[in-house]
């Protein structure tokens, strides 16, 4: 069965690729039940790819596991359900698929049935997912009843005619549901307590399933886009999670906990992109983050190295290296703005993304230039080389996604920039300076607060090893 | 008070001597105990051979530094020796080893008794 | 009266005996988790440990059932063992009874605040480089550091300022213990140490090695742990002292216990079959006059048995077994490594420091290597700083995601291609073992500044000592072939936190190649040979010693030879390499049969490819079996075993009783390698019989923590011992057979007796049945005697038919 399902998944991947490129448009693809559009096509390729990798990996990794068929069955079912979410048009189908996804995922978190802590973690996650599904159901029910249409396309078309209070409430409910699914603060704890799942499940979860929050926002973007306060709320919750998640990553000492914290942060960033009205950027982020995080999860066994306590590093940056770093950063920002179609002169929400790119390039360049042990020729070509190739690769994915999403309602909404946006940008610049200078390390109170808020649910921790069971 | 001249004073001073024999794996414990007791110094003999109530222990092994015996030799005032004895008595309830305390004399008292400036 | 510091320390020292030390993953050492109980008979010890640590002492009934169904337990032996205890039921009935005696209570996990808060702060304090922002004030020690964070920790009630907590360790103990008489302290300490045996085991390891950089910078002792835990217990209103009923350690009792009898029957069955085979083989081959083409010395490791058999088949080759650190107690500093590692057995202290330096004329290769190494280092640290940076991480993920996606697909879908690519890269960019040589000689005085207290290099006397010891212990004083290879061993496995558990146990979980290089270097020195000749070990002028390393995952053997300037004629070298490749094919073909592998047997070298795939596959949880299956430790000449297929289950230490009149060689083998064998065997035993309490559970839910250990899932106590996948082919069938180590020694019984007379602690291991022993006395026509607890011997009664698997001597 594992072999069969793995092959089937790869076949589906090939099929999705075919649909992506040839874009056939038969009748059934635009019905009341399902509607295959750009978002569906992208997500189908991405989901089947991750699923195929995870299953191929698990064929060796999970070999000999007692419930291997149940494991593969659920992985495959999840793949199907997630694709269905992106393809459903009927509201009931959507809610059903959404609920099934949560149920299956919780089940995989508790895959090790004989291990009480795994069961507790599954229960904990399941309650979150059921709550999230209820929110989605209420929101869509409300919209369906008010608009009289039970398809997503129908509802979205009717949005301008609906009472704004109904739209606002539904939008709010959907935002909260997305926050639960993407494990944003304050709903992050289910994700940080989910490491009882076998490693490949974590890989799939962090690369794929948490993204469903972003897909939900993308799918119902026209509803949220109606209200700028809600957009600002999305930006705020995304920004907070992005910042806190990265901060948690600094204090966690276990590899999977660090990766989980990082996922909270990256999901925050992705949602923030949604809040800026940049759906294609968010979808691009979700795909690239998926590659990144799935790789790191599958490689968590590599994390053992001989290390010695760090000596205080003398962060002496010469004038020249500062100039080089700054120049590259600005160059990187310009390059990014050009390839990603951001305006260089007009300040809008897209400019915020450019700020992040500038910060990344700045940091990368500084690290490379300061590394005296590297041959100088390497230091010279490394920065432009890395910069060009990575921004180039990003541009390919981004422009592809943009083209595919272009027909979607309100894929991009250039919201004007508000003090809140400036505040978020300033927050990250300040955070960057603070961590670079090490000022944060002076506050014991902050350290303890971060460590405590990043703890998994207490009954999912295995203190008494007697209680452990491998299957 | 000035230091006594090294050559002028040949009087013998009474102090206590302790000899401790333990298994090699307890060496670090005894070493810590002596270090904590403010003793000014001690001597260690590794690879000691001998018979005790648990049987014979041959030292000088090529590939085992754990099972051979270690002997400590130290001299100090009675109070310091007493604190060492206090630590070793419970140890010997569980693991094998012996200690002997005896009277002995030294010439240079300052070498063995700390002046208590830290006490 | 204030409590005495020295008394508290001594009570803690006593209490800590019950906790086995836990090595960090980098140098995972085999050790008996019940090492603190070895002063008691096995059966009592496992009862006592079970009460304290919750682990089981004997295999599960299902494991006995599997052994029974495979015919590994001889019915006659079992029946007579049972009859001794007046049990007459049929084995099947007893298997059912044992299974129904098992209870599996379903627990609902509840919060354990004391464990949780202590474990949280332990993992924060002990972190060895994983977190970018480590716990503050660590350099002041665990108690002080904890005292500083406690006021901010909402989990700790009623502490608003550090001053609300006792000032010092001693004050903390004073505050908690003053209500208890001194006799109770030890059981209080044991109770709290045993609550988190993983973490306390690691502290025990770290505190004993004050010279490790982490302990030096951030000190922690079990006293710190207990002070924090006891203080917390009072704050959280949890029990300080265990209930009287649970007051530990209570002694076990002698009992009639079915699993105990079954285990003994299983062990006897294995023993009798092995001895029958050994007795049959004897006297077959005495013709050893002509000089072999080459001699290869391997580690005593059970994995060597397989490859040795296959090498001997290839031609006129002889093999020997010696402890894989080759008798050189050294600390090794690998080329381009930040740290030195101990490269000798856990029971030996290193006495020399050996560094790898580029060999003469190899500087160009070294420069080449350095260039790429720096680049790789730069890449690594760039990724690390970017992914954890609070603002740069987001852009980084978008810029690098595509590369990670490609790498993920390649590693998952094309592991075999990656192995070949890795090999090619290794050809282009030389690895350090190819261009470095060890600093065997004492360097010039200005360089010889001892680091970590150890002198660099070896004195002339030390060289003589180690060379002579090697040949004396092996009984190898003449008949040297033109080529002699000392072959260390190491594993190859990516994405595996338990890598070092597959490396050489005699080198404390490191590859043995560097030690082999040192001994070969010594033995090639003329001055050493002259001295050896005077002592009766005559090495011919034309004998060349080489070093090599056996890759235990692929069974490939690399010879560390400078091919630009070969020390032996090229055609001889080529022949040797060809034969080693053929041996690799044979050995892997044998091994893949046990691995659930689908190998196309029609294809040439299919088994080699399969093991190479495993050596490069990041998804592989069973790259090789390590020492799984180990069951016996045979001390005797190779001719005793060379016609037998011992199934990779025997440690083989070469020894010739005839050349060891005063018994010194045997004494050193029995007190050194045999004891290490027991450590390995007990680790495999207990990890198999209780993988939760003494092992580390399934790899699929492992979470590496603090760059030092493994927790399961979200965290909690550190796991100890081996993971399930190192022991079992699947969730239910162990590959390792949990039976105790059987020592078999060919030597006069009186000699063994004399050695036991001199070594009380070794005799204890035998009397308490942690090792079983049989002596084959050559002075009595190889009569067999089984050691009996209480310094007694029983003569062997032949009772079983030979096991078909073991009886077929290879042609």
pLDDT at A298: 97
Whether the pLDDT of residue C807 is over 50: the answer is no
**Residues A339, A205 share a domain:** no
In 3D space, the residue among C322, C184, C326 whose CA is nearest the CA of residue C242 turns out to be: C184
Instruction: Report which listed range, B13-17, B109-113, C184-188, C629-633, is most confident.
Output: C629-633
pLDDT in tens, C517-550: 999 999 999 999 999 999 999 999 999 999 999 9
Cross-chain residue pair C149–A447, CB shorter than 8 Å: yes
pLDDT in tens, C692-742: 999 999 999 999 999 999 999 999 999 999 999 999 999 999 999 999 999
C88: in domain: yes
Q: Which structural domain range is residue C652 located in?
A: 61-101+257-287+631-691+727-811
pLDDT at B9: 61
Q: In this prediction, what percent of chain C has a pLDDT beyond 90?
A: 79
Q: Of A175, A195, A227, which residue sits at a domain end?
A: A227
Q: SS3 letters for chain A?
A: CHHHHHHHHHHHHHHHHHHHHHCCCCHHHECCCEECCHHHHHHHHHHHHHHHHHHHHHHHHCCCCCCHHHHHHHHHHHHHHHHHHHHECEHHHHHHHHHHHHHHHHHHHCCCCCCHHHHHHHHHHHHHHHHHHHHHHHHHHHHHHHHCCCEHHHHHHHHHHCCHHHHHHHHHHHHHHHHHHCCCCCCCHHHHCCCCCCHHHHHHHHHCHHHHHHHHHHHCHHHHCCCHHHHHHHHHHHHHHHHHHHHHHHHCCEHHHHHHHHHHHHHHHHHHHHHCCEHHHHHHHHHHHHHHHHHHHHCHHHCCCCCCCCCCCCCCCCHHHHHHHHHHHHHHHHHHHHHCCCCCCCCCHHHHHHHHHHHHHHHHHHHHHHCCCCCHHHHHHHHHHHHHHHHHHHHHHHHHHHHHHCCCCCCECCCCCCHHHHHHHHHHHHHHHHHHHCHHHHCHHHHHHHHHHCCCCHHHCECCHHHCCCC
Rounded to 10 degrees, the C-alpha dihedral A239/A240/A241/A244 comes to 120
What residues contact residue B17 under an 8 Å CB cut-off, 6+ apart?
B73, B74, B75, B101, B102, B103, B104
Q: SS3 letters for A112-144?
A: CCCCHHHHHHHHHHHHHHHHHHHHHHHHHHHHH
Whether the pLDDT of residue A386 is over 90: the answer is no
Grade residue A325 by pLDDT with cuts at 50, 70 and 90.
confident
Grade residue C284 by pLDDT with cuts at 50, 70 and 90.
very low
Cross-chain residue pair B32–C347, CB shorter than 8 Å: no
**Residues C11, C152 share a domain:** yes
Cα B117 to Cα A265: distance, rounded to the nearest angstrom: 56
A63: in domain: yes
A282: in domain: no
Grade residue C806 by pLDDT with cuts at 50, 70 and 90.
very low
Cα-to-chain-centroid distance, residue B96? 16
Mean pLDDT of C241-254: 65
Residue corresponding to tokens 């008798």: C327
pLDDT in tens, C248-262: 555 666 677 899 999
C33: in domain: no
pLDDT at B117: 38
CATH, domain B13-106, list 3.30.70.120, 3.30.60.50, 3.40.50.1820, 3.90.230.10: 3.30.70.120
| Cα of C349 to nearest chain B Cα, Å | 6
pLDDT at A345: 67
Top pLDDT among A326 and A117 is at A117
pLDDT at C40: 92
pLDDT in tens, C572-609: 999 999 999 999 999 999 999 999 887 777 787 899 99
Closest chain A residue to C702, measured at CA: A199
Q: Which residues of B touch C7 (CB under 8 A)?
A: 86-87, 90
Whether the pLDDT of residue C407 is over 70: the answer is yes
Cross-chain residue pair C399–A284, CB shorter than 8 Å: no
A443: in domain: no
Whether the pLDDT of residue A372 is over 90: the answer is no
Whether the pLDDT of residue A346 is over 80: the answer is no
In 3D space, the residue among C251, C115, C108 whose CA is nearest the CA of residue C195 turns out to be: C115
**Residues C786, C675 share a domain:** yes
Whether the pLDDT of residue A70 is over 50: the answer is yes
Mean pLDDT of A72-91: 96
| Cα of A221 to nearest chain C Cα, Å | 22
Cross-chain residue pair C347–B29, CB shorter than 8 Å: no
Instruction: Report which listed range, A178-192, A429-443, C93-107, is most confident.
Output: A178-192
Q: Are the C-beta atoms of residues A201 and A73 closer than 8 Å to each other? A: no
| Cα of C761 to nearest chain B Cα, Å | 7
Q: Poorest-confidence range of C284-288, C366-370, C465-469?
A: C284-288
Grade residue C127 by pLDDT with cuts at 50, 70 and 90.
very high
pLDDT in tens, C16-69: 999 999 999 999 989 999 999 999 999 999 999 998 888 999 999 999 999 999
Cα A48 to Cα A17: distance, rounded to the nearest angstrom: 10
A368: in domain: yes
Establish whether chain A is in contact with chain B, requiring a minimum of 3 CB pairs below 8 angstroms. no
Q: Of A389, A417, A445, which residue sits at a domain end?
A: A417
Cross-chain residue pair A255–C705, CB shorter than 8 Å: yes
Q: Which residues pair with B105 in a beta bridge?
A: B14
Please tell me which of the candidates B55, B63, B83 has its beta carbon nearest to residue C4.
B83
A263: in domain: no
A455: in domain: no
**Cis ω before C249 (30° cut-off from 0):** yes
What residues contact residue C773 under an 8 Å CB cut-off, 6+ apart?
C742, C743, C744, C745, C752, C766, C786, C787
A407: in domain: yes
Q: Are the C-beta atoms of residues A268 and A237 closer than 8 Å to each other? A: yes
Mean pLDDT of A304-325: 72
pLDDT at A284: 95
Write out chain B's pLDDT in tens, 119 residues: 444 444 556 788 889 999 999 988 899 899 999 998 888 889 999 888 888 777 888 877 888 888 788 999 999 999 999 999 999 999 999 888 999 999 999 887 777 765 543 32
Cα A291 to Cα A294: distance, rounded to the nearest angstrom: 5
Q: Which residues of B touch C763 (CB under 8 A)?
A: 55
CB contacts < 8 A (A, C): 383
**Residues C344, C215 share a domain:** no
Give C726-787 as a DSSP string. Answer: GTBSSSS-BSS----EEEEEES-HHHHHHHHHHBHHHHHHHHTTSEEEEEEEGGGTTEEEEE
Copy the structure tokens of residue C412: 């998952």
User: What is the count of structural domains for chain C?
Assistant: 4
Give the pairing of strands C352-358 and C330-333: parallel
pLDDT in tens, C490-520: 999 999 999 999 999 999 999 999 999 999 9
Kindly list the distances between the CA atom of residue C810 and the CA atoms of A407, C313, C647, C651, C805, in Å, as whole numbers in the listed order: 74, 9, 12, 19, 11
pLDDT at C201: 96
**Residues C465, C337 share a domain:** yes
Cα C316 to Cα C310: distance, rounded to the nearest angstrom: 12
Grade residue A350 by pLDDT with cuts at 50, 70 and 90.
confident
Mean pLDDT of C104-128: 88
Q: Which residues pair with C341 in a beta bridge?
A: C332
Closest chain C residue to A373, measured at CA: C374
Cross-chain residue pair C705–A359, CB shorter than 8 Å: no
A362: in domain: yes
Buried b (16+ CB within 10 A) or exposed e, B99-114: beeeeeeeeebeebbe
ipTM over 0.85? The verdict is: yes
In 3D space, the residue among A126, A160, A266 whose CA is nearest the CA of residue A208 turns out to be: A266
Cα C704 to Cα A257: distance, rounded to the nearest angstrom: 10
Crossing angle of the two packed helices C222-235 and C113-126, in degrees rounded to 10: 140
Whether the pLDDT of residue A260 is over 50: the answer is yes
Q: Which structural domain range is residue A123 located in?
A: 2-227
* Residue from B35, B37, B54, B64 whose CB has the most chain C CBs within 10 Å, to mutate: B64
**Residues C447, C403 share a domain:** no
Average of per-residue pLDDT values in chain A: 90
Closest chain C residue to B91, measured at CA: C10
Cross-chain residue pair A462–C403, CB shorter than 8 Å: no
User: What is the count of structural domains for chain A?
Assistant: 2
Q: In this prediction, what percent of chain C has a pLDDT beyond 70?
A: 93
Closest chain B residue to C667, measured at CA: B61
Q: Give domain limits for chain B.
A: 13-106
Q: For residue C501, what is the enclosing H or E element? A: helix C499-502
Asked if C9 reaches chain B (Cβ–Cβ under 8 Å), the answer is yes
- Using DSSP's 3-state secondary structure scheme, residue C6 falls into helix
Residue corresponding to tokens 């010395």: C297
């Amino acid at each position: 069965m594992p072999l069969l399902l793995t092959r089937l998944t790869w076949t589906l991947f090939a099929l999705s690729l075919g649909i992506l490129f040839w874009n056939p448009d038969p009748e059934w693809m635009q019905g009341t039940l399902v509607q295959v559009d750009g978002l569906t096509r992208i997500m189908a390729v991405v989901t089947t790819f991750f699923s195929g990798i995870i299953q191929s990996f698990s064929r060796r990794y999970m070999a000999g596991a007692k419930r291997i068929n149940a494991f593969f069955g659920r992985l495959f079912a999840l793949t199907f359900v997630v694709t269905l979410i992106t393809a459903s048009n009927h509201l009931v189908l959507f809610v059903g698929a959404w609920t099934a996804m949560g149920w299956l995922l919780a089940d995989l978190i508790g895959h090790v049935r004989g291990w009480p802590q795994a069961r507790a973690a599954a229960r904990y996650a399941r309650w979150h997912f059921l709550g999230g599904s209820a929110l989605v159901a209420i929101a869509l029910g409300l919209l369906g009843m008010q608009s009289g249409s039970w398809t997503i396309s129908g509802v979205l078309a009717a949005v301008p005619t609906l009472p704004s209070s109904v739209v606002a409430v539904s939008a709010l409910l959907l935002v909260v549901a997305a926050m639960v699914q993407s494990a944003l603060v304050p709903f992050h704890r289910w994700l940080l307590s989910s490491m009882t799942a076998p490693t490949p499940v974590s890989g799939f979860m962090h690369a794929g399933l948490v993204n469903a929050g972003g897909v939900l926002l993308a799918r119902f973007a026209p509803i949220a886009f109606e209200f700028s306060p809600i957009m600002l709320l999305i930006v705020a919750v995304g920004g907070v999670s992005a910042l806190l998640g990265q901060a948690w990553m600094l204090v966690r000492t276990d590899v999977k906990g660090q990766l989980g914290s990082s996922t909270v942060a990256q999901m925050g960033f992705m949602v923030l992109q949604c809040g800026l009205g940049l759906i294609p950027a968010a979808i691009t982020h979700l795909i690239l983050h998926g590659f990144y995080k799935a790789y790191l999860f599958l490689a968590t066994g590599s994390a053992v190295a001989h290390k010695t306590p760090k000596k205080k590093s003398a962060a002496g940056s010469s004038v020249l290296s500062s100039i080089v770093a700054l120049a590259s950063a600005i160059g990187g920002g310009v390059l990014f703005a050009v390839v990603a179609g951001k305006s260089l002169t007009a300040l809008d929400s897209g400019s915020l993304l450019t700020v992040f790119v500038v910060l990344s390039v700045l940091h990368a360049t500084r690290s490379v230039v300061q590394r005296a042990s590297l041959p100088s020729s390497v230091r010279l070509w490394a920065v432009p080389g890395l910069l060009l190739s990575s921004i180039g690769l990003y541009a390919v994915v981004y422009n592809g996604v943009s083209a595919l999403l272009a027909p979607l309602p309100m894929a991009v909404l250039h919201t004007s920039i508000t003090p809140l946006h400036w505040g978020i940008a300033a927050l990250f610049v300040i955070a960057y300076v603070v961590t670079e200078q090490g000022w944060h390390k002076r506050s014991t109170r902050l350290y303890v607060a971060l460590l405590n808020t990043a703890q998994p649910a207490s009954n999912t921790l295995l203190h008494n090893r007697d209680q452990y069971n491998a299957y | 008070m000035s230091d006594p001249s090294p050559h002028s004073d040949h009087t013998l001073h009474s102090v206590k001597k302790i000899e401790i024999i333990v298994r090699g794996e307890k060496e670090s414990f005894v070493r810590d105990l002596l270090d904590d007791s403010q003793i000014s110094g001690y001597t260690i003999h590794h690879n000691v051979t001998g018979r005790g109530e648990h049987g014979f222990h041959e030292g000088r092994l090529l590939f085992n530094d754990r099972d051979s015996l270690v002997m400590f030799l130290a001299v100090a005032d009675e109070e310091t020796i007493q604190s060492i004895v206090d630590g070793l008595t419970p140890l010997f309830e569980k693991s094998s080893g012996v200690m002997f305390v005896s009277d002995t004399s030294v010439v240079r008292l300052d070498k063995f008794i700390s002046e208590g400036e830290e006490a | 009266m204030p409590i005495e510091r020295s008394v508290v320390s001594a009570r803690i020292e006593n209490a800590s005996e019950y906790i086995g030390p836990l090595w960090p993953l980098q140098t995972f050492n085999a050790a008996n988790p019940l090492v603190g109980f070895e002063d008691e008979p096995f059966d009592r010890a496992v009862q006592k440990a079970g009460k304290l640590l919750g682990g089981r002492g004997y295999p599960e009934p299902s494991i006995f059932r599997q052994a029974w169904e495979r015919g590994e337990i001889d019915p006659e032996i079992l029946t007579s063992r049972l009859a001794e205890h007046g049990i007459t039921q049929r084995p099947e009935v007893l298997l059912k009874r044992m299974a129904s005696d098992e209870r599996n209570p379903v627990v609902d996990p509840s919060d354990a605040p004391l464990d949780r808060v202590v474990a949280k702060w332990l993992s924060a304090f002990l972190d060895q480089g994983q977190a970018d922002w480590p716990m503050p004030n660590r350099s002041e020690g665990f108690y002080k550091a904890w005292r500083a964070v406690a006021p901010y920790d909402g989990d700790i009630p009623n502490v608003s300022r550090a001053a609300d907590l006792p000032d010092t360790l001693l004050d903390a103990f004073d505050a908690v213990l003053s209500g208890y008489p001194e006799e109770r302290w030890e059981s209080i300490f044991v109770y709290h140490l045993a609550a988190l045996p993983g973490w306390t085991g690691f502290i025990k390891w770290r505190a004993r090695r004050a010279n490790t950089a982490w302990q030096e910078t951030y000190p922690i002792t079990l006293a710190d742990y207990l002070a924090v835990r006891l203080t917390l217990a009072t704050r959280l209103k949890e029990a300080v002292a265990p209930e009287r009923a649970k007051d530990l350690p209570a002694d076990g009792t002698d009992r009639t216990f079915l699993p105990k009898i079954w285990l003994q029957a299983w062990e006897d069955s294995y023993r009798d079959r092995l001895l029958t085979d050994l007795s049959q083989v004897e006297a077959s081959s005495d013709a050893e006059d002509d000089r072999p083409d080459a001699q290869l010395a391997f580690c005593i490791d059970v994995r060597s048995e397989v490859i040795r058999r296959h090498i001997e088949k290839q031609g006129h080759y002889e093999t020997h077994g010696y402890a894989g650190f080759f008798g050189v107690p050294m600390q090794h500093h690998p080329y381009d490594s930040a740290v030195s590692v101990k490269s000798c057995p856990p029971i030996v202290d290193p006495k020399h420091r050996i560094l790898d330096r580029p060999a003469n004329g190899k500087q160009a290769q070294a420069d080449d290597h350095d260039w790429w190494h720096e680049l790789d280092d730069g890449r690594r640290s760039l990724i690390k700083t970017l992914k954890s940076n609070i603002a740069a991480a987001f852009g980084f993920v978008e810029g690098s995601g595509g590369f990670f996606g490609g790498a993920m697909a390649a590693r998952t879908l094309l592991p075999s291609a990656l192995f070949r690519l890795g090999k090619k890269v290794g050809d282009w960019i030389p690895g350090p073992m190819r261009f470095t040589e060890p600093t065997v000689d004492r360097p010039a005085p200005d360089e010889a500044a001892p680091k970590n207290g150890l002198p660099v290099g070896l004195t002339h006397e030390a060289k003589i000592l180690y060379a002579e010891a090697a040949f004396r212990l092996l009984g190898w004083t003449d008949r040297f072939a033109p080529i002699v290879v000392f072959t260390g061993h190491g594993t190859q496995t990516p994405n595996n936190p338990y890598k070092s558990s597959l490396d050489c146990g005699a080198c404390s979980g490191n590859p043995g190649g560097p030690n082999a290089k040192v001994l070969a270097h010594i033995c090639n020195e003329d001055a050493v040979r002259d001295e050896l000749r005077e002592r009766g070990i005559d090495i011919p002028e034309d004998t060349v010693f080489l070093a090599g390393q056996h890759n235990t995952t692929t069974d490939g053997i690399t010879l560390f030879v400078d091919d630009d300037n070969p020390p032996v004629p090229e055609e001889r070298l080529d022949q040797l390499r060809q034969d080693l490749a053929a041996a690799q094919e044979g050995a892997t073909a044998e091994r893949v049969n046990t691995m659930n592998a689908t190998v196309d047997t029609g294809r040439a070298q299919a088994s080699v490819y399969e093991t190479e795939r495993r050596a490069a596959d990041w998804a592989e949880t069973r790259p090789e079996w390590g020492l799984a299956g180990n069951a016996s430790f045979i001390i005797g000449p190779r001719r005793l075993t060379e016609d037998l297929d011992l199934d990779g289950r025997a440690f083989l230490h070469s020894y010739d009783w005839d050349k060891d009149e005063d018994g010194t060689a045997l004494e050193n083998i029995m007190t050194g390698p045999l004891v290490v064998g027991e450590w390995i065997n007990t680790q495999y035993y207990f990890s198999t019989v209780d993988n939760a309490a003494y092992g580390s559970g399934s790899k699929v839910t492992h979470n590496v923590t603090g760059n030092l250990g493994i927790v399961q899932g979200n965290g909690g106590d550190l796991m100890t011992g081996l993971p399930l996948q190192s022991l079992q082919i699947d969730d239910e069938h162990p590959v390792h057979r949990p039976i105790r180590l059987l020592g078999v020694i060919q030597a006069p019984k009186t000699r063994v007796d004399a050695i036991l007379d001199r070594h009380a602690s070794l005799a204890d291991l035998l009397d308490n049945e942690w090792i079983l022993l049989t002596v084959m006395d050559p002075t009595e026509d190889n009569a067999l005697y089984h050691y009996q607890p209480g310094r007694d011997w029983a003569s062997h009664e032949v009772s079983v038919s030979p096991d078909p698997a073991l009886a077929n001597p290879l042609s």
